[in-house]
Amino acid sequence: MSNAKPWIASYPVEVPASLEYPRVPLTHFLEQSAKDFPNHNALYFMGRRMTYSQLLSYSYQFANALLKRGVKKGDRVAIMLPNSPQAVISYYGALFAGAIVVQTNPLYTERELLHQLGDSGAEVIVTLDLLYERVMNVKSSTALKRIILTSMGEFLPFIKKLFYPLVQRRQGQKPRVEYGGGVEALSALLAESEATPVQVEVDPDEDLALLQYTGGTTGVAKGVMLTHSNLVANAVQTLAIIYKLKKGQERILGALPFFHVYGMTTVMNLGIQLAAEIILIPRFDVKEILKTIHRVKPTVFPGAPTMYIALINHPDLKKYDLSSIEACVSGSAPLPVEVQQRFEALTGGRLVEGYGLTESSPVTHSNPIWGHRISGSIGLPWPDTDCRIVDPATGEDLPQGEVGELAVKGPQVMRGYWNRPEDTAAVLRDGWLLTGDMAYMDEKGYFYIVDRKKDMIIAGGYNIYPREVEEVLFEHPAVLEAAVVGVPDPYRGETVKVFIVLKPGHSVSEEELDAFCRKRLAAYKVPRIYEYRSELPKTMVGKVLRRQLQEESRKQAQGEKPAQEMTQ
């Protein structure tokens, strides 16, 4: 199959089978855009704009500040921020300094943060003042030496910035921060630093730009090692696929979080490469998104199905003009055909489904935006991306049309997992990445995902690993056994369901379990459906038959009633 590459004949004539990739660090795109379009808007944030020249200067300032504080090439710098100017400045500034960025979800609990910071060995973190206490509570158990804090109000327009403290007080958000002892304000750090150009020499093919954490089959979050070349390649590939985009003329809606590799590549890295104006959305609020599209008029909107579903079902939809949107690539979960059709009718633009995974920077496939597409298919492999369908037991290639494990190979595929050679060897074979997804290819080279070999749940675009949720539930004194599965959800794509077996003589309500989980897990990982059982189905060796539970749940998902409190 890999030699035939039937997908190339299905490419639109504008998309080449192979591309040229500049052998440069990822920061090259920012320097080039600032050189070619210095006065063009780079960022739009709640009414305030920043030019490419300004963004480059701020990034140089941050890089110089890190170097002054002893950050060396290869050191890890964690960024725990929502989409904001500070997130972009910190990202490119850290890369200019030669550091490896560790993108960290601001929703993480202390438990999740402790693992990621501990595993990566990050010595610096850039985060919100609102998250100061959470970071300080884990600091002593990590390698952290410096905590750099910023406020959401820092880059707001003048009037909004003026009133931001009042809004914070009204919402009960008054962070108590003790500066000193390695705790610094980003604003002071930038103010004291020169905007002189700095770029620590890196080898784009060998040096890492990013550690992006993902769970995989074990549920233990692993750091995916992505080089500068990996990220440059996927940005170049993205531009080749969305070939109608023009440099210096586009506006990209940044609703996908940049701490997720999908948003990082298809919004931030693509946007900077294009010298586009990136419209920063720190939190997905449907009405605010509609207002922003109506007012700021983005031309490109990468997203997840849940985002498009929320927009097309909003009661005030007719009040807003969405016709500026020309191209959207949907990822993270299957795209329902009715959502695609309704969104395209509303905008006049094109919405297609794509596919990828963190280990491939992340995109490997998509349907042609301006060409033949097939509903239910993840589309065609991207330029220079080779694909095979292999027998999961033997690793042998399977004939066209047969279902097996999807394996991919290309310039966007990771170097491996951070400090986990055994896990790396399990998924990387001679440059081929075993995706863990079961798929088949049709005669024209379109691929279809039919199942996941992994038990991973994708809810609202977020990856959730059952074992992690189960381990939290096992900590509850009333829980004897717990099995977590993903069940269909019309809005989130999938949602988290847990089957609970209680210890004899114990009782616990859904509300109590919900509160217990919320203290230990990010909100999107918390189970939404609980079902109490006297026992769980198992194999002869005691392994829970998760697939059986999932199938039972799928059959009853439409009419399922909430389980009641149960005493055993």
Q: Which of 428, 425, 426 is nearest to 414 (CA)?
A: 428
Q: Which of 49, 43, 22, 133 is nearest to 90 (CA)?
A: 43
Query: What pLDDT does 11 receive?
Result: 97
Q: Which of 551, 536, 408 is nearest to 480 (CA)?
A: 536
Query: What pLDDT does 480 receive?
Result: 86
Which distant-in-sequence residues (6+ apart) come within 8 Å of 295 by Cβ? none
Is-contact 253 300, C-beta < 8 A? Answer: yes
Query: What pLDDT does 559 receive?
Result: 61
For CA atoms 124, 127, 131, 133, give the dihedral sign: positive
Query: What pLDDT does 395 receive?
Result: 92
Note the CATH architecture for domain 26-201: 3-Layer(aba) Sandwich (3.40)
Q: Which CATH class is domain 462-567?
A: alpha beta
Q: Which of 178, 236, 283 is nearest to 411 (CA)?
A: 236
CA end-to-end distance (rounded Å), the chain: 55
Query: What pLDDT does 164 receive?
Result: 65
- What distance lies between CA 316 and its chain's CA centroid? 29
Per-residue pLDDT in tens (0 to 9) along the chain, 568 residues: 445 799 999 999 999 999 999 999 999 999 999 999 999 999 999 999 999 999 999 999 999 999 999 999 999 999 999 999 999 999 999 999 999 999 999 989 999 999 999 999 999 999 999 999 999 999 999 999 999 999 998 988 777 766 666 666 677 777 889 999 999 999 999 999 999 999 899 999 999 999 999 864 345 789 999 999 999 999 999 999 999 999 999 999 999 999 999 999 999 999 999 999 999 999 999 999 999 999 999 999 999 888 898 898 899 999 999 999 999 999 877 788 888 999 999 999 999 999 999 999 999 999 999 999 998 899 999 999 999 999 988 999 999 999 899 999 999 999 999 999 999 999 999 999 999 988 999 999 999 988 666 677 888 888 787 878 888 998 899 998 888 999 988 888 889 999 999 988 999 999 999 999 999 999 999 999 999 999 988 754 456 788 789 888 878 765 644 444 333 3
Domain chopping of the chain, boundaries: 26-201, 462-567
Which distant-in-sequence residues (6+ apart) come within 8 Å of 99 by Cβ? 66, 71, 73, 74, 75, 76, 77, 124
Per-residue buried b or exposed e for 70-100, using 16+ beta carbons within 10 Å of the residue's own CB: ebeeebbbbbbbbbbbbbbbbbbbbbbbbbb
> What are the C-alpha distances in Å from 360 to residues 77, 89, 166, 218, 338?
21, 24, 43, 19, 29
Which residue's structure tokens are 């710098």?
77
Q: DSSP readout, 272-307?
A: HHHTPEEEE-SS--HHHHHHHHHHH--SB--B-HHH
For CA atoms 410, 411, 415, 417, give the dihedral sign: negative
